[in-house]
Structure 1
Amino acid sequence: MVPKISVILPTYNVEAYISETLSSLFNQPVPLFEVIVLNDGCTDGTLEVIREHFGNRHELRIVSQDNQGVGEARHHGLSVATGEYVFFCDPDDVIDPGLFAEFAARYEADPSLELFYFSKRSFTEGSNGRSFNRRKTAASREGWFDSGGALLQDLILSEKYHAAMWQYVFRKSVCDRFKVQLQGRAHEDHAFSMCIYLHSQRTYATSADYYFYRERTGSLTQSQKTLSYVMGSYEAYRNALAELKKHVRTLDMGSAVALKFIERNVSALINKCVKQQVKLPHGLTMQTWQDAHDCRVGLHLRLPVLLPHALYLIRRARALLKR
């Protein structure tokens, strides 16, 4: 029993990597229903590589648009996908052959499956070949969860949660339960992923490393972060938190989940501001207190939640002393 799976690849100027990515998809033992390459205005030889090596694949669909960024590309891809399930993939990464085989097995065991989560590893390439990092994103337990929210709770409390859209396969109809918003060139996945977890029902999480993320110079996540990028990350956090607030009372440990989510994100924001030598967003302390109150967190002696501005000053002073 293999359901129809739509793979969506937002693509922009990756001619050196796209062949390996597509090969890792087309060489899966489980057939894919369609692989949609969303050409976001490529100006290099990416499309030529695709047509030369994979032009005869019946699963391949190339959809083009003017360059608008990964958010709009993903949104466009989602709108034209016709499969029952969707998997977003970045065009320079590598997929393990076991991904869709296990997904199909879990689907066969329970066709009501709506969310399939897996672990990932990142890698770099050098003169001595590829170097892989250790796994950091597996859930604390492998197996079935009654809902995506239950898995989300596990991931956040164990500090394994990441918003990456390529770390799960989901039933497309889940998107009918919330307003899909995918915009911009960075951070577009935060609110979307939060909604997918919170609105999914039957869920399975495997500890297997099925996705291999390529860290490379020049990619968006590895490039220098500007002020607008840092502030954009704060806005993305606020959008994701707004979705979590709507469901925090439905989670078994909702207040603890909210506390951990707020603490980690505010702490990460402080680090970004210190590194880029920019000020914290105006009113961050008061807003964080309000968020904690909204989520019934209460007062906790954790500096990112209690005194984020003071923590910023401490970390900035340490950074200055190191220079």
Structure 2
Amino acid sequence: MVKVSVILPIYNVAPYLEETFESLIHQSLSDFEIIAVNDGSTDHSEEIIKKYQQQDARVIFFSQNNQGQSAARNLALRHARGKYIYMMDSDDILSNPNALQICYDYAEKNQADFIFFDGESFSEAKKHRTSWNTKRTHLVEENTRYDGNYMLNLMLDTQAHNCVVWLLFIRRDFIKRIGLRFHDGIIHEDELFTTILTLSSDNIFCLRQNLVGHRIRTASTMGISFSKRNLNCYLTVADQLLHFSKAPIIHKFLRYTLSKVFYTGHLIPFKQKPAVFWRALTSGYLKYIGLKSTLVFWFKRH
């Protein structure tokens, strides 16, 4: 068994992909694999993957028609052999050459289900840092075990909730034991995956280190304009979370999330609003959205 499987879903990131690979292959930890899944890229991403595959036997390459990040990650998870999983975005960089070794040693020492650490977000051309806060480890102590219900409550209460998987280092057997996969066909899939992951664990540890640089691109999921699809995918996340559990923390999470999502939803074209709002209404989600966000959704101009 290799120590770490790095899962790398790839779609049209040719300008940044070499930098991502370089940050991985020069890690001080040598016993790991990179599972690169080309998700139907139309640029030169596949050529870059093949170049690194020829140079380094640790690079394992799969290709599929464009099905989205969830399907690409699920394919990689099926083939992963590592004791731990790290899911990296294909335009990100590991900012510390010892990142994988540090995570592996810390997770092993504490026998964690998963650990979380901090990152830094930056603009597409790396000209400046962005305002997206990817730091939350200051809220808890190192070498202290936390359960998921406590952690999610704390992050919601402090407005520090961050759902992204690239700030997590996860024991593969834990993912297998709880039967967790990414929900196909949606964006914001991390919201669903990391929430269930967190609430399924009573063995979470914090590592107070800044280990990854996350690039915000205009063409990425985080960089594109807010749309009806964003709203519908968040509603799918809500559907799935309530199917998973109806515990108080789920209702708290939905109030925290859907109120913000529908507040931002005023940006979508007016003609698209009735259908998505009707879905929220008939699903019983207005109690989570709230009056203020509902009024903003319908009446605020942009």
For 2:211, give the aligned amino acid. Y
Distance in 2 (alpha carbons) for counterparts of 1:310 and 1:232: 21
Structure 1 residue 108: Cα displacement: 4.2
Which segment drifts farther, 270-279 or 60-69? 270-279
* Aligned counterparts of 2:278 and 2:70: Cα–Cα separation in 1: 24
What does residue 228 of structure 1 align with?
Answer: 229
- The correspondence for 1:312, drawn from 294, 297, 300, is 294
Query: What SS class does the counterpart of residue 170 from structure 1 fall into?
Result: strand
User: Counterpart of 2:160 in 1: which secondary structure?
Assistant: coil
Counterpart secondary structure, 1:21: helix
Partner Cα separation in structure 1 for residue 122 and residue 281 of structure 2: 35
Question: Hey, what does 2:259 align to over in structure 1?
Answer: 267
Partners of 2:227 and 2:211 lie apart in 1 by: 32
Unaligned 5+ runs, structure 1: 249-254, 290-303
Cα displacement (A) at 1:258: 4.3
Worse-superposed segment, 148-157 or 92-101: 148-157
Q: CA offset at residue 78 of structure 1? A: 0.5
Distance change in 2, residues 1:165/1:134 (3 Å)? closer
Specify which of 104, 127, 130 is matched with residue 129 of structure 1. Answer: 127
**1:145 alignment partner in structure 2:** 145
Partners of 1:186 and 1:159 in 2: CA distance: 22
TM-score, length-normalised on structure 2?
A: 0.85
Contact 2:186–2:233 under 8 Å retained in 1? no
**Aligned-CA RMSD value:** 2.7
Q: 1:221 is matched by which residue type in structure 2?
A: M
Tell me: CA distance 1:122–1:30, structure 2 relative to 1, closer, same or farther (3 Å).
Answer: same
Which amino acid in 2 is paired with 1:138? Answer: R
Q: Does 1:218 align with 2:219?
A: yes
Alignment partners' CA distance in 1, 2:228 and 2:218: 20
Question: Against the structure 1 CA distance between its residues 34 and 146, is the aligned structure 2 distance closer, same or farther, given a 3 Å change threshold?
Answer: same
Task: Report what 2:30 is aligned to.
Answer: 31
What is the deviation of 1:73?
0.6
CA distance, structure 1, for counterparts of residue 245 and residue 167 of structure 2: 19
Q: Which runs of 4+ in 1 moved over 4 A?
A: none
Larger radius of gyration: 1
Secondary structure, counterpart of 1:118 in structure 2 = strand
Alignment of 1:14-163 (within 5 A): 14-53=13-52, 55-97=54-96, 98-110=98-110, 112-126=111-125, 129-133=127-131, 135-139=133-137, 140-143=139-142, 144-163=144-163
Deviates more, 1:84-93 or 1:154-163: 154-163
SS of equivalent residue, structure 2 residue 196 = helix
| Compared CA separation, residues 224 and 107, structure 1 to 2 (3 A) | closer
Matched-pair contact (CA < 8 Å) for 1:230–1:272: no
| Distance in structure 1 (CA, Å) of the matches to 2:158 and 2:241 | 18
- Give me the whole-angstrom Cα distance separating, in 1, the residues matched to 2:156 and 2:245: 12
Query: Which residue does the alignment assign to 2:187?
Result: 186
Question: Are 1:194 and 1:244, in contact at CA under 8 Å, matched by a contact in 2?
Answer: no
Amino acid at match of 2:10: T
1:56-111 CA-to-partner distances (Å, cap 9, x unmatched) read: 2121111111221111111101011111111111101111214323213313423x
Partners of 2:69 and 2:191 in 1: CA distance: 13
Deviation of the 1:54 alpha carbon: 5.4
Alpha-carbon shift at residue 125 of structure 1 (Å): 4.1
Q: Structure 2: which 5+ residue stretches go unaligned? A: none
Q: Amino acid of the residue matched to residue 181 of structure 2? A: V
Distance in 2 of aligned mates of 1:19 and 1:95: 12
Alignment: residue pair count:
293
| % identical aligned pairs | 23
- Higher mean C-alpha deviation, range 218-227 or range 112-121: 218-227
C-alpha distance in 2, partners of 1:50/1:267? 40
Whole-Å separation in 2 of the counterparts to 1:69 and 1:170: 22
